């Protein structure tokens, strides 16, 4: 896939890492992508599995090269990409959980919805409104659940 655009070849140089962040039994595998001399991206097809698959206790940080790379991929795509499409573009090195974490870290520049992920620079006003309304709806549901749990706890404990 060609990844060059108005962003320029230099902006496509980056680091993609896979593995578990935070608490992990083995270090993450890192692949450096140098796009300055080629038009397509080559990523190893097989990576060693972590010794003990533990879930991350921390979200992907905003400063992560992975987050910047996700933003650049979405900016290049100019449209919606699903988590599966994004994972394919990095040779399966990212799973849906990692992509969701990176999209969260890339907020507000990356929006999400039922169609996948999109860079806000290429979203319509309606898509931006829909993404914000979806998050507000989720927040309302979470607050209602928290209140139910708190009430039940008071019933049980007093």
Report pLDDT for 37: 40
* Among the listed residues 153, 71, 84, the one whose alpha carbon sits nearest the alpha carbon of residue 118: 71
Q: Distance (Å, rounded) from C-alpha 81 to C-alpha 28?
A: 25
Q: State yes or no: pLDDT of 117 exceeds 90.
A: yes
Over range 117-138, report the average pLDDT: 96
Report pLDDT for 71: 96
77 Cβ neighbours under 8 A, 6+ residues apart: 118, 119, 122
pLDDT in tens, 39-83: 444 444 444 444 445 555 567 888 889 999 999 999 999 999 999
Report pLDDT for 8: 39
pLDDT band at 6 (very low <50, low <70, confident <90, very high): very low
Side-chain-side CA neighbours of 108 within 13 Å: the count stands at: 7
Question: Which residues does residue 16 pair with via DSSP β-bridges, in sequence order?
Answer: 31
pLDDT band at 35 (very low <50, low <70, confident <90, very high): very low
Report pLDDT for 16: 53
pLDDT in tens, 95-116: 999 999 999 999 999 999 999 9
* Tokens, residue 108: 């507000």
Pairing outcome for strands 29-33 and 116-119: unpaired
Percent of the chain topping pLDDT 90 = 59
Q: State yes or no: pLDDT of 120 exceeds 80.
A: yes
Average pLDDT over the chain, rounded to an integer: 76
Report pLDDT for 27: 41
Q: Distance (Å, rounded) from C-alpha 5 to C-alpha 13?
A: 13
């Amino acid at each position: 896939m060609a990844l060059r655009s108005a962003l320029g070849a230099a902006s496509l140089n980056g680091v993609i890492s896979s593995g578990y962040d935070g608490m992990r039994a083995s270090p993450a595998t890192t692949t450096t992508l140098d796009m300055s001399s080629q038009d397509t991206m080559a990523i190893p097809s097989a990576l060693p599995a972590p010794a003990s698959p533990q879930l991350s206790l921390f979200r992907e940080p905003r400063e992560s090269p992975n987050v910047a790379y996700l933003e650049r991929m979405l900016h290049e795509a100019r449209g919606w990409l699903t988590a599966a499409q994004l994972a394919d573009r990095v040779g399966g090195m990212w799973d849906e959980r990692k992509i969701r974490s990176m999209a969260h870290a890339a907020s507000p520049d990356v929006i999400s919805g039922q169609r996948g992920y999109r860079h806000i620079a290429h979203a319509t006003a309606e898509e931006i409104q829909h993404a914000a309304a979806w998050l507000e709806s989720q927040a309302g549901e979470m607050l209602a659940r928290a209140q139910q749990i708190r009430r039940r706890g008071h019933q049980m404990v007093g």
